[in-house]
């Protein structure tokens, strides 16, 4: 993507902010913006999602592989040879793990709350499904 990996991490599996989406719509709708947008190489949720789909489907076509997250269950949902597993931790365990990584209590709680909310909004926007769409995953009761 010709950008620092941190830039991708900031946008990956998240929706862009409302202000950015409005800016992008305005830019695409203007003559100048439509001419310059391809040259700007903007890194946003849309372009990361498109590239992720390309990479995930290419990896799956190569044969046996393990893909963690990145919407892979949704990109590969029609492949009969794909096996999807959803791994989930209770909220308290997420906060504890984040605290063990050096986050403050407040930061750990905030991250634990927002990551799932952001991921849910992302899946809803790009796949039209509620996250997690449990019918894509194998569960062991």
- Write the pLDDT tens digit of every residue in 41-85: 666 777 778 888 998 999 999 988 898 877 888 889 888 888 888
Q: At what angle do helices 91-100 and 105-127 cross, to 10 degrees?
A: 120
Instruction: Say whether the peptide bond before residue 116 is cis (omega within 30 degrees of 0).
Output: no
| Whether residue 28 has pLDDT greater than 70 | no
User: Residue 10: what pLDDT?
Assistant: 66
Pick the CATH number of 5-136 from 1.10.30, 3.30.1070, 3.90.1150, 3.40.50: 3.40.50
Q: Where are the domains of the chain?
A: 5-136
Read off the pLDDT of residues 83-112 as tens digits, 9 standing for 90 and up. 888 888 999 999 999 999 999 999 999 999
Mean pLDDT of 22-37: 60
Q: How far is CA 101 from the centre of its chain?
A: 22
> pTM score > 0.85 for this model?
no
């Amino acid at each position: 993507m010709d950008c620092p990996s941190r830039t991708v991490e900031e946008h990956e599996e998240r929706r862009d902010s409302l202000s950015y989406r409005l800016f992008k719509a305005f830019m695409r709708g203007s003559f100048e913006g439509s001419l310059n947008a391809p040259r700007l190489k903007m890194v946003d949720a849309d372009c990361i999602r498109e590239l992720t789909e390309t990479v995930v489907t290419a990896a799956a076509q190569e044969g046996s592989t393990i893909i963690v997250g990145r919407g892979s269950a949704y990109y590969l949902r029609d492949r009969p040879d794909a096996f999807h597993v959803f791994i989930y931790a209770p909220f308290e365990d997420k906060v504890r793990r984040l605290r063990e990584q050096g986050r403050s209590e407040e930061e750990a709680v905030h991250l634990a709350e927002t990551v799932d909310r952001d991921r849910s909004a992302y899946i809803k926007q790009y796949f039209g499904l509620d996250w997690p769409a449990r019918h894509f995953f194998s569960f062991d009761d």
